[in-house]
Amino acid sequence: MSNSENQHKVVVLLGSPRKKGNSSIIAREIAEGAKSVGAAVESIFIQEMDIKACQACWFCQKPDSDGCAIKDDMQKIFPKLIEADSWVIATPVHWFNMSTQTKLWLDRCFALSKYGDSPFNKKIAIAIAYGDADPYASGAVNAIRSFQDSFRYVGAEITGVVYGSALERGDIEKNEAVLIAAKKLGKKLAG
């Protein structure tokens, strides 16, 4: 990330086990769009991080709590999420919803309010890849609905969602309309 105080900061959460998979490619284009209007971008590949499942201990919700009781890599990620102006969340559809990796991360965001003020005061972009031709039959719509409900619950704004059908790693590169939409969304995030 840049040192500039005023530079728009984007953190990209890559939620596929395939680092260079289709959802990561959509996220890459969103990031490129954001960079083209001056943003600084940092990517986090969730699969490589030690992120345990939320234990539902509710420690983070206690008034005197200093954050999440689980001391794993989320402790490094929380400050980055707080510092960022925008989040890009990239996920494949696995079994008709977001990936397990993405959900692990999302559940742990329950503790985010202990790491800074207005923790969800972000612009949020969602990138989704799925194998079925149809976004409804694929379950992509379930993933979108899950994000909508989650971010509505915490008062966050979803700036845009880019989704496309692709099965094999890299297939989404052939879908020019998706790549163009992604770049445009990146510009909107940071512009």
Ligand X SMILES: Cc1cc2nc3c(=O)[nH]c(=O)nc-3n(C[C@H](O)[C@H](O)[C@H](O)COP(=O)(O)O)c2cc1C
Element (H, E) at 4: none
Per-residue contact string for residues 93-112; x = within reach of ligand X by CB under 6 A: xxxx----------------
By CB under 6 A, residue 139 contacts ligand X: yes
* DSSP, residue by residue, 41-77: EEEEEGGGS--PPP----GGGSTT--S-S--STHHHH
Minimum distance, C-beta of residue 48 to ligand X, in the bound complex (Å): 15
Site size toward ligand X (CB under 6 A) is 20
By CB under 6 A, residue 135 contacts ligand X: no
* DSSP, residue by residue, 16-27: SSSTTSHHHHHH
Minimum distance, C-beta of residue 55 to ligand X, in the bound complex (Å): 25
By CB under 6 A, residue 92 contacts ligand X: yes
Residues 6 or more apart whose Cβ sits within 8 Å of residue 54:
70, 104, 107, 108, 110
Residues 6 or more apart whose Cβ sits within 8 Å of residue 134:
165
By CB under 6 A, residue 132 contacts ligand X: yes
Site for ligand X in 12-41 (CB under 6 A): 16, 18, 21-24
Contact positions vs ligand X (CB under 6 A): 16, 18, 21-24, 92-96, 129-132, 138-139, 166-167, 169
